[in-house]
Amino acid sequence: MSGVRTMPVAVIIGMMGAGKTRVGKEVAHIMDLPFADADVEIEHEVGMGIPEFFERRGEQAFRKVEADLIADMLEDFDGIFSLGGGAPMTPSTQRALADYIARGGRVVYLDADPAEAMERANRGGGRPMLNGDADARWKKLYKERDPVFRKVANVRVHTRGQTPQMAARKVMDMIRERIVHVTGTGIEPYDVCIGEGTMNHLPDVLGEGVVRVALIHTQPVQRHSDHARTLLRQAGYTVSDIVVPDAEAGKTVDVANGVWRRLGDEGFTRSDAIVGLGGGAATDLAGFIAATWMRGIRYVNCPTSLLAMVDASTGGKTGINTEAGKNLVGSFYTPAGVLADMRTLATLPNDIFIEGLGEVAKSGFIMDPEILRILEDHASELRSFDGAMFLDSGLKDVVAELIEHTVGVKAYHVSADLKEAGLREFLNYGHTLGHAIEKLEHFRWRHGNAVAVGCVYAAELSHLLGYIDQDLVDYHRSLLGSLGLPTSWNNGSWSDVLALMHRDKKARGNKLRFVVLESVGHPIHLEDPPADAVEEAFRRIQQ
């Protein structure tokens, strides 16, 4: 073994005949990686074929050699590694795979159609585990192994009816996925899956108990909702397609009422589910419907805007706007999963992409300087985002990295403080003024743009009170400006702004509360700051 600790890019498991070797080789070929098959490695090591080894030494001896070899390869092989069908049944291998996953590994369960796999497994013979009535043996083994495979794998790929090339593409997309795990007190753990084709996981995330699915989406994302509907119908769900008014026009009590009526008319029960697909407005509404229908049913978010991917779809803040203000009615209600399918970004207009960078930068300011570095390094490419070119460009990896980091910041705060008793308020950096701007602009200003101005305002306030120096205020303006985000606003009176800031959810009684920075990555709560500083900071963002 070499001194440097390395590990496979992916480990492929599955039943005999699932295509582990064929598909694994194809994945390795496309990704330009080495491929190893545990059975072939074992044959080299023991100097004979597996049937002969079984016959001479028995299954127990074989499993011991197999487990030792797998343990070594999990520490020392940097490619695609396919395991024999029975390997994951050995407890020490299960532990080694769990450790590999904990180190960031991907254990892919290649879940083939039983008839196809059985037919392939029987071809050519040479499988000691299928001696006798091969079909009956295969079925028995499947019954024992399938639940274990599901447990030990963190990626499951269905290959029914697919050519090895198609299955390999699917595996590749899935092993390239980035997954952020959200957990914490009061949270049923769930994953945010980021990558190309993550929407394909919808049936797995919804699960088997669900019968009807309400697919809530807006018209501009029709192409993506068509795809989701097809996936859901293929998986056997009864799908109600619910198109809601676009953007903030969808986050109203009238729209919510219309959706509740549809759910009632179509017989939605507690075992049914909601899928929210679209920008943050659609996922906020869908989550709110899920939280309120029968006091809470399962929901999955499929965010399609950058902002929804990095922020709105995760964390369980659901809600609508009312006459009183933005997001003042809602609930904390956690999704069963979030599928951020980067393919959907191919149709995203440039201005809506840029808006999303407002929340990305906010997350950098409050916690993760790496986000700020990536934004600085790629500002001009990000600013020129073009959906039509995006998936074939190098920007794709940059954006995936930004999404993963930003969701990580969100998950950290949400995991520690789901109901926003303190720490989670830091995610609201820039929002006290931001929400007021949105309301005064009758929601024609985009959320992320308003948050960008709000961050500059918070920086000015922090500087006026002596927490940060002018350089950091200037940095806010230059970074946000370089991304194409606004840094000033001059379209409303101070008294209107102040009144709305008093309705912010962070306010207590007559006292305003803000989130400000002490330095990058160190936000603090600012309670009841002096009125003249609060107003002077506003004057400074008017220019």
Ligand X SMILES: NC(=O)c1ccc[n+]([C@@H]2O[C@H](COP(=O)([O-])OP(=O)(O)OC[C@H]3O[C@@H](n4cnc5c(N)ncnc54)[C@H](O)[C@@H]3O)[C@@H](O)[C@H]2O)c1
Ligand Y SMILES: O=C(O)C(=O)C[C@@H](O)[C@H](O)[C@H](O)COP(=O)(O)O
Tell me the C-alpha distance between 150 and 168, whole Å.
19
Q: Which is nearer to ligand X, 195 or 220 (CB)?
A: 220
Token pair 């290649």 in the structure block, residue: 110
Expressed in angstroms, the distance from the first to the final Cα of the chain is 63
Tell me the residue number closest to ligand Y, measured at CB.
Answer: 327
Angle, helices 369-377 vs 470-482, to 10°: value is 50
Q: Is the separation of the CB atoms in 451 and 365 below 8 Å?
A: no
Residues tagged in the binding site annotation for NAD(+) = 246-251, 280-284, 304-305, 317, 326, 344-347
Q: Nearest CA to 74 among 46, 50, 106, 111?
A: 106
Binding partner selected for residue 406 from ligand Y, ligand X, none, CB under the kind-specific 5 to 8 Å limit: none
Q: List for the chain the helix, strand, coil content (%; round to 5).
A: 55, 15, 30
Binding partner selected for residue 431 from ligand X, ligand Y, none, CB under the kind-specific 5 to 8 Å limit: ligand Y
Closest contact distance (angstroms) between CB of 439 and ligand X is 11
- Structure-token pair, residue 136: 């009956």
35-37/80-82 β-pairing: parallel
Binding partner selected for residue 194 from ligand Y, ligand X, none, CB under the kind-specific 5 to 8 Å limit: none
479-496 burial: b if 16+ Cβ within 10 Å, else e: bbbebbbbbebeebeeee
Cβ burial of 293 (10 Å; 0-12, 13-18, 19+) is: buried
Closest contact distance (angstroms) between CB of 316 and ligand X is 8
Q: Is the separation of the CB atoms in 443 and 343 below 8 Å?
A: no
Among 20, 176, 229, 431, binds ligand Y (CB under 6 A): 431
Q: Which is nearer to ligand X, 359 or 460 (CB)?
A: 359
Among 200, 305, 428, 462, binds ligand Y (CB under 6 A): 428
Closest contact distance (angstroms) between CB of 39 and ligand Y is 48
Binding partner selected for residue 428 from ligand X, ligand Y, none, CB under the kind-specific 5 to 8 Å limit: ligand Y
Closest contact distance (angstroms) between CB of 475 and ligand Y is 20
10-13/107-111 β-pairing: parallel
Q: Containing H/E element for 321? A: strand 317-322
Closest contact distance (angstroms) between CB of 458 and ligand X is 16
Among 66, 311, 355, 438, binds ligand Y (CB under 6 A): 311
Among 127, 298, 405, 424, binds ligand Y (CB under 6 A): 424
* Contact characters 503-542, ligand Y, x per CB under 6 A: --x-------------------------------------
Q: Which is nearer to ligand X, 197 or 220 (CB)?
A: 220
Residues tagged in the binding site annotation for substrate = 39, 63, 85, 145
Residues in contact with ligand Y by CB under 6 A are 311, 315, 317, 327, 359, 420, 424, 427-428, 431, 505
